[in-house]
Structure 1
């Protein structure tokens, strides 16, 4: 192996290490966004999306509970089946830090728990007309009062 080959190998390894570190940092930001909610609040949000989908389309949404992914700005895809077609109806609670990296958010509806989350997404650049919020409390403690 020549010195040039070793150098190329080291550069490729460093690029891969940097990519992995960036992916880990991105995932940590997304997890931090989702840790604001308890599992019960996540379930409540999924139920609210299902009710909204039924009301608007007479279809049940599959919310992909816990299926956060970069292509949905670390939100859940809400899929609706109409006839024989299954399509993405909207994105549930995308992370504001990744709005600019997700072109799908420009064309899909977005569902969030409350006005505070809607404002965070609007501040991040999402069109407020695409955001539906369900007036849920910010914290579990707020619902106990």
Structure 2
């Protein structure tokens, strides 16, 4: 999903919009971050689902990354760059990260854009018996 500046001044709606001249994109490095890898797969899929081919998908990815001013190693670093350092017009991230940003920084500071093509990224968790039993947090951990 895309998190944009309030009012979406660049009119960002699709993956193709991230490749336009003058759009600054904040995204985690796909070589070091699952967040970044999922974003690349979603951008790639946006071309393929429209009947495009591998070359067109590669071209879109290249154009998007040409608009990335800094390549953070992880999703939280990308969030920090966008939210705290005020870099970029759009942050590409997971939906749960957007919820964190709204909670920590205020829901009224940014707009959420759901691109027409996205990817489901289930984030697995595990319960460590010894830890939840010691802390008394089993019920919440298994909710």
TM-score by length of 2: 0.35
TM-score by length of 1: 0.35
Question: Hey, which of these two has a bigger chunk of strand by percent?
Answer: 1
Question: Hey, which of these two has a bigger chunk of helix by percent?
Answer: 1
Which of 1 and 2 has higher RCO (CA within 8 Å, sep 6+)?
2
| Bigger-Rg structure (1/2) | 1
